[in-house]
Amino acid sequence: MSTDRPALKVRRLQDIDVKSKRVIVRVDYNVPMKGGKVVDNRRIRETLPTLKHLLDAGAKVTLVSHLGRPKGKPEEKYSLRPVAPELQKLLGRPVAFCDECVGPKAEAASGALKGGSVLLLENLRFHPGEEGDDAGFAKQLSKHGEVFIQDAFGTLHRAHASTAGIPKHLPGGIGFLVQKELEFLDRAMGNPERPFLAILGGAKVSDKIGVLLKLLERVDSVIIGGGMAYTFLHAQGVSIGKSLLEKDKLGDAQSIVEKAYSRNIQCLLPADHIAVKEIKPEADRVVTQAMAIAPDLIGVDIGPHTLEIFAGEIAKAKTIFWNGPMGVFEMEPFAKGTIEVAKALAKATKRGATTIVGGGDSLAAVDLAKVGTQLSHCSTGGGASLELLEGKVLPGLAALAC
Ligand code: AMP
């Protein structure tokens, strides 16, 4: 593998003896809920191969996860309880639930598990020790098993008790979901079929500078859209009206464009925009006829000409990585650019390109465009996939290194 990420040797689930063992699995069941029900079970479905493997081996499986941001104390709306029946339905086996994740009650629940059965514990983030990577909390969690399997790709970039802490007490390795994620992202970065195109969007330049710089060492072209594109346009001397601007990132934006130019990498920015006076769905939309935006307007989506240019670039690429929406896609009138990019990626996949999408917003857009099943890989972790592409060592993986 030729990524810059230091090679970490991590054991894989299939190489670990789990037969009849008590196994703790860190999953990412941070799923969207409405009225106490799971509304999108993708993250639960993605863990089924790991769970089935363990249950077939007669393991006693205790699942730990976080949900939302409850700030270290219990909050009913962040309870994982509704996830248990959803998992039970998908798994076709009973799933027990315990309303604690540490302490005597939780230990009794995990201790009572029979071979081939599953227990889901309450939200780890109901305790400050989780995000604080508290050693005592990690030790308490580790009492639920003899082996630890990490299958929460979306949290690998966080040094928390359930990612970096538990492996200090138990042997273990990575589950099938984490393996799949790493394979796709490593393949894209190590040996991509060319042309390799990266599409970055979303609101914040600052979140994406690191990954952009790293991607410029690999890609043949890059598309920058969404709110972050305005900082790049402004750095090029283009008027952007009242659009999103990160003034302190103008220098970075300029040096990224220069770096791309000096390496003969195409760097495509929006050539026209959908602009409004106020960001609200009922606002009158203006299609700017050029790159510049009038002083009283805000760019909220890419324009039709840009869409044509971006779709043309996508049609040429053999490997495509996409993170971040092209506009304020949560509001239907400004979602077209993002949805059309998702559709163009589906078309590219059909003609044999490898397409990888990372990040909650991009995945939501893929669902909106109804092309989720038509892409090569939808990563369950936006932040983790970006940090991996940046070449960073993820704490959740480093903790498992052997
Ligand atoms: P990020 O978390 O940086 O990937 O940003 C995602 C957010 O960017 C979404 O909530 C979008 O609504 C927002 N976004 C995309 N384009 C724009 C834009 N032109 N102006 C303001 N926000 C935007």
pTM beyond cutoff 0.75: yes
Whether 124 and 263 map to the same domain: the answer is no
- Given a cut of 90, whether residue 62 has pLDDT beyond it is yes
> Which CATH number does the domain housing residue 326 bear?
3.40.50.1260
CB atoms within 10 A of CB 281: 11
Whether 240 and 147 map to the same domain: the answer is no
4 lies in a domain? no
Q: How far is the CA of 324 from the centre of ligand 1 (A)?
A: 7
Whether 216 and 264 map to the same domain: the answer is yes
Whether 228 and 101 map to the same domain: the answer is no
| Element (DSSP H or E) covering residue 274 | strand 273-276
- Whether 175 is a known active-site residue: answer no
79 lies in a domain? yes
33-42, 230-239, 256-265: least confidently modelled range: 33-42
- Given a cut of 70, whether residue 235 has pLDDT beyond it is yes
* Contact (CB, 8 A) for 305 and 337: no
More confident residue, 211 or 131: 131
Amino acid at site 383: G
Whether 196 and 129 map to the same domain: the answer is no
- Given a cut of 90, whether residue 237 has pLDDT beyond it is yes
Whether 220 and 316 map to the same domain: the answer is yes
- Given a cut of 80, whether residue 6 has pLDDT beyond it is no
Tally of domains within the chain: 2
The reported pLDDT for the residue numbered 301 is: 98
pLDDT, tens digit, for every residue of 295-349? 999 999 999 999 999 999 999 999 999 999 999 999 999 999 999 999 999 999 9
Amino acid at site 11: R
Q: How far is the CA of 227 from the centre of ligand 1 (A)?
A: 5
- Given a cut of 90, whether residue 255 has pLDDT beyond it is yes
- Most informative mutation of 328, 334, 357, 386 for ligand 1 (most atoms within 8 A of CB): 328
Whether 365 and 254 map to the same domain: the answer is yes
- Whether 43 is a known active-site residue: answer yes
What number is the average pLDDT over the span 136-155? 97
71 lies in a domain? yes
- The reply to whether ligand 1 has any atom less than 6 angstroms from the CB of 331 is no
The reported pLDDT for the residue numbered 364 is: 86
- What pLDDT band is residue 122 in, cutting at 50, 70 and 90? very high
In angstroms, the CA 339 to CA 363 distance is 11
Its domain, for residue 66, covers: 13-179+394-398
In angstroms, the CA 235 to CA 66 distance is 40
Whether 222 and 172 map to the same domain: the answer is no
Nearest residue (CA) to ligand 1, atom 17? 227
379 lies in a domain? no
- The reply to whether ligand 1 has any atom less than 6 angstroms from the CB of 173 is no
- What pLDDT band is residue 256 in, cutting at 50, 70 and 90? very high
CA distances from 18 to 50, 129, 148 (A): 11, 28, 10
- Whether 227 is a known active-site residue: answer no
324 lies in a domain? yes
What number is the average pLDDT over the span 263-292? 97
- Whether 35 is a known active-site residue: answer no
- What pLDDT band is residue 372 in, cutting at 50, 70 and 90? confident
pLDDT, tens digit, for every residue of 14-42? 999 999 999 999 999 999 898 899 998 98
Whether 353 and 321 map to the same domain: the answer is yes
377 lies in a domain? no
The reported pLDDT for the residue numbered 87 is: 98
- What pLDDT band is residue 2 in, cutting at 50, 70 and 90? very low
389 lies in a domain? no
362 lies in a domain? yes
Q: How far is the CA of 356 from the centre of ligand 1 (A)?
A: 19
Q: Mind giving me the DSSP string for 115-164?
A: TTEEEEE--GGGSHHHHTT-HHHHHHHHTT-SEEEE--GGGTTS--IIII
What number is the average pLDDT over the span 139-166? 97
Whether 231 and 363 map to the same domain: the answer is yes
Q: Considering the candidates 43, 60, 242, 392, report the single residue annotated as catalytic.
A: 43
Q: How far is the CA of 343 from the centre of ligand 1 (A)?
A: 19
- Given a cut of 80, whether residue 159 has pLDDT beyond it is yes
Whether 39 and 103 map to the same domain: the answer is yes
Percentage of the chain surpassing pLDDT 70? 98
Q: How far is the CA of 246 from the centre of ligand 1 (A)?
A: 13
Whether 296 and 159 map to the same domain: the answer is no
Nearest residue (CA) to ligand 1, atom 10? 328
- What pLDDT band is residue 3 in, cutting at 50, 70 and 90? very low
- Given a cut of 50, whether residue 245 has pLDDT beyond it is yes
- The reply to whether ligand 1 has any atom less than 6 angstroms from the CB of 227 is yes
